[in-house]
Structure 1
Amino acid sequence: MDDADIELLPPGTALAWGHAPAPRRGPKPGYSLEQIVDAAIAQADAEGYAALSMPSIAKRLGITANALYRYLSSKEELLVLVAEAAWGPPPKLSSGDWRAAVTAWARALLERGRRHPWLIDLPVRGAPSTPNLLGWLENFLEGMADTGLGTRDVMGCVVLVDGWVRSTAALLRDVNANAPERVEALSEFLRPRLRGRGYPRVAAVISGEAYGEEGIEDDDVEFGLGRILDGIEALIVRR
């Protein structure tokens, strides 16, 4: 594949697969691409997705933003490489039980989202094209291989489970960010007003343990995943 064809690929794809562009003129680079990606991940871990800018990462490295463009042609390339590194390689799944495999896959993906909460904010601009992300897809396909479902159905399942992981990770991050004392203050404020407004069922929920003084817990997460797996199981039986 020549350089003209490489330019047609999505940003960052060739770099993620180890295809290095032709050396540019000028001083020898002081950093490796891996060091830049590590710095970007550390920056996002410390300050969130909004901190993933070329100037802020350049400042963290002690170089100018213009110097950073000697390594990367665009911020889009950086985001692709950061996603590839932060999601990381997929877990090894046990074979023979599709439900256990998909559960392990979803839990592992959710754990990566919890480790790097800003990952959920990264834009998804197409199908996966980098080694680690394609490895996650391969693992899911392998876990579903013995279900008898066709490719179209299995791809629908992976989109469904992946979407559940992303939405759940975002919910966990945002809801559990609230301080317990703030949640309790909100509950105390709402209880009498809900009864006065004629919302007795909501008032009962807020008065009980289910309103989440401890935030969203693992049982709440597992409930949603279990219902998705029940739906997939029904699809397998129907097919």
Structure 2
Amino acid sequence: MTSEDFIPARLRRLWGRLESSRLGRPAALDVNRVVTASVEIADRDGLGGVTLPKVAESLGFTGMSLYRYVGSKDELIELMADAAMGTPPSIPTDDWRHGLRSWAFEQRAVFHRRPWLTRVPTSGPPSGPNQIAWMEAGLAVLSRTRFDWAHKIGVLSLISGYVVQSVRLYSDLAEGRAEGQGQADAERDYGRALVRLVEPERFPETARLFSSTLFEDAPSDASDASIADADFTLGLDLILDGVAVRIERSGS
């Protein structure tokens, strides 16, 4: 028994640890081709548009033939997600706050290009080579702090979870708006409607919120992207402020 025997088949496929063809000739199909075709479909039709028959048809094969290369659709999605994330760019490590901010914004850029990635179910910790590369980049940023491993992983999980949810929310809100309506106009309409419905006697603090100028302050010419950037940055700064407090307590 070799060390490879202890690695599940799905992880061997995820890391490209595949056995060569016993027949000595190249296979007509391979895992990389299946994954590449699947990612192309997801980029075009979203995650819901990826089915084994559709992937097989795009490659000129039958749906059943794909099971020789991926064990299930769930495994295919895992392979797709890792491939679609790609490897992270160079992340600065001289300052933890600047580094984590860059790490978060670079992930966000990937998810904006491929919003279907935010719909991939989380079935476990990072396992693929590209996901591990992103983890490595984040751990390198935190390497100069005195955080233990649990704190480092906790910080990265918190930030990456925030990135996913913020991009997913942005996508959902964009889909829910009336055609041609921008984020600033949608927020203004929302505030003007709710201020008439929220009763101060029942919801005193929320009524104060809708009576404020918050929903009216966004410039009419503000782009959806600039509003999303401001909202994302605010939330990220709140998280990083909390990390700073914990780092100070740890004496880092």
TM-score (norm: length of structure 1): 0.85
Q: Does structure 2 retain, via aligned residues, the 8 Å contact 1:180–1:213?
A: no
In the alignment, structure 1 residue 225 sits paired with structure 2 residue 230: no
Q: Does structure 2 retain, via aligned residues, the 8 Å contact 1:12–1:78?
A: no
Q: One-letter code of the match for 2:249?
A: R
Question: Which of residues 36, 50, 53 is equivalent to 1:52?
Answer: 50
What is the Cα deviation at residue 31 of structure 1? 2.6
2:116 maps to: 118
What is the Cα deviation at residue 213 of structure 1? 7.5
State the Cα deviation string for residues 77-99 of structure 1 (Å, max 9, x = none).
21121111101112211221011
* Corresponding pairs, count: 235
Percent identical pairs in the alignment equals 29
Give the superposed CA RMSD. Answer: 2.9
How far apart, in 2, do the equivalents of 1:92 and 1:139 lie? 8
Counterparts of residues 56-75 of structure 1 (less than 5 Å)? 56-75=54-73
Q: Does structure 2 retain, via aligned residues, the 8 Å contact 1:54–1:75?
A: yes
Counterparts of residues 1-239 of structure 1 (less than 5 Å)? 1=2, 4-6=5-7, 9=8, 12-21=10-19, 23=21, 29-177=27-175, 178=177, 179-181=179-181, 184=185, 188=189, 191=192, 194-195=195-196, 197-198=198-199, 199=207, 201-202=209-210, 204-209=213-218, 214-215=223-224, 216-239=227-250
Q: Which moved more, 1:54-63 or 1:190-199?
A: 190-199
Name the CA shift for 1:107/1:39 in 2 (closer, same or farther; >3 Å): same
Listed as ranges, the gaps of 5+ residues in structure 2 are 200-206
TM-score (norm: length of structure 2): 0.81
2:203 maps to: none
How far apart, in 2, do the equivalents of 1:97 and 1:209 lie? 33
What is the Cα deviation at residue 23 of structure 1? 4.2
Match of 2:68, SS state, is: coil
What is the Cα deviation at residue 2 of structure 1? 6.0
How far apart, in 2, do the equivalents of 1:21 and 1:121 lie? 31
What is the Cα deviation at residue 231 of structure 1? 0.6
What is the Cα deviation at residue 189 of structure 1? 8.0
State the Cα deviation string for residues 143-165 of structure 1 (Å, max 9, x = none).
01112211121111111111111
Q: Which moved more, 1:182-191 or 1:193-202?
A: 182-191
State the Cα deviation string for residues 174-229 of structure 1 (Å, max 9, x = none).
12333343864795587356326544642654444289984442111111111111
